[in-house]
Structure 1
């Protein structure tokens, strides 16, 4: 049986966590509760918080991808440098 890499295990944990969060949110009608609660704070636009959270999540995913790419390029350059020595 093939061993899974750490990144594959992490992906499975993240997907599992996301599925559990989705199921709990659906069971407790979390969105509807949030909408009802945030309606009383319309003047400070609290009802826009989910959109802002989604935008932040996408920005952090982009930022992480860029850092991963930088690290991969630096690692490749280091390997090349070690081969030259």
Structure 2
């Protein structure tokens, strides 16, 4: 299952209003310093969310992209699913 499908499934669960938030035992149960809880959002309100992911192995990814794109490479045209 792709990352996009996982995120869409997560959003569907959150937006359905039928699930309750229950953090995992290792999750913090308090707000970060400076944050204020405003309670639940209105179910009719449209929310825009942005997620940032830390990139790892960017150099290796660049090498792999170059290898599948270079006609002289043995990996040329070997695309992943």
TM-score > 0.5, shorter chain as reference = no
Q: Higher relative contact order by CA 8 Å / sep ≥ 6: 1 or 2?
A: 2
- TM-score w.r.t. length of structure 1: 0.33
